[in-house]
Structure formats: structure tokens, C-alpha cells
């Protein structure tokens, strides 16, 4: 095993988990679409942050009935009930957090 300091300063994990039919999950709430749109937006509008910010798909964050669930690190900030309507707000939050790191 090897370890090294990460160049990434902010990780945004967006749950895209799909559960069996009949069970609440972020995939049903648009998790994959939200993650893809947020990632595309950050890449297009803020290419200078490519080496610092990652918008990752995650597995279940145990907030399945409150999806789409997201968590931002290193702050450890949880976001629930997120949707495509929140893209502007998520972008603003990411920019503010990166500025303060």
C-alpha cells in the first residue's frame, strides 16, 4: 500500500444509488442526473477548479428517503432533498467553500 497527500481540496459526493423496486433511493429522485449536471457545470464554468474539486457519484449515504443525498468533504456537510433545481445553489456553495480552504 502507498499513500500520498491528495491534491483535491473539496469532494462532493452525490448519491446515485439504485435500490430494488419499491424501495426509496436517490436514483429514483434523480441522483445520477444531478451528479452528471453538477459535474458538467463545474467543468464548463470553472475549469480552473478541475484539479481541486471532484464531483463524485457515491453509493448509499443512508438518507434514502431524503434523496437526493449529498455530502461535502472535508466540511462533512450533508445536503438532502437536492434536485436539478438546486444546481445554482450547489455551484455557489462549492465556490464559497473552495474560496475558504
Q: Name the residues that contact ligand FES, by CB under 6 A.
A: 15, 17, 19, 25-26, 60-64, 67, 69
Closest CB to ligand FES among residues 61, 79 = 61
Closest CB to ligand FES among residues 19, 45 = 19
Cβ atoms of residues 84 and 31 within 8 Å: no
Helix (H, G, I), strand (E, B) or coil at 36: helix
Closest CB to ligand FES among residues 19, 81 = 19
Rounded to a whole number of angstroms, the minimum distance from the CB of residue 79 to ligand FES is: 11
Strands 10-15 and 70-73: antiparallel
Amino acid at each position: 500500500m502507498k499513500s500520498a497527500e491528495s491534491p483535491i481540496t473539496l469532494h462532493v459526493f452525490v448519491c446515485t444509488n439504485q435500490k430494488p423496486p419499491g424501495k426509496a433511493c436517490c436514483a429514483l429522485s434523480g441522483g445520477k442526473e444531478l451528479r452528471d449536471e453538477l459535474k458538467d457545470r463545474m467543468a464548463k464554468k470553472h475549469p480552473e477548479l478541475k484539479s481541486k474539486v471532484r464531483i463524485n457519484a457515491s453509493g448509499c449515504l443512508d438518507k434514502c428517503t431524503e434523496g437526493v443525498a449529498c455530502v461535502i468533504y472535508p466540511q462533512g456537510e450533508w445536503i438532502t432533498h437536492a434536485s436539478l433545481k438546486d444546481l445554482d445553489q450547489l455551484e455557489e456553495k462549492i465556490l464559497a467553500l473552495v474560496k475558504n480552504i
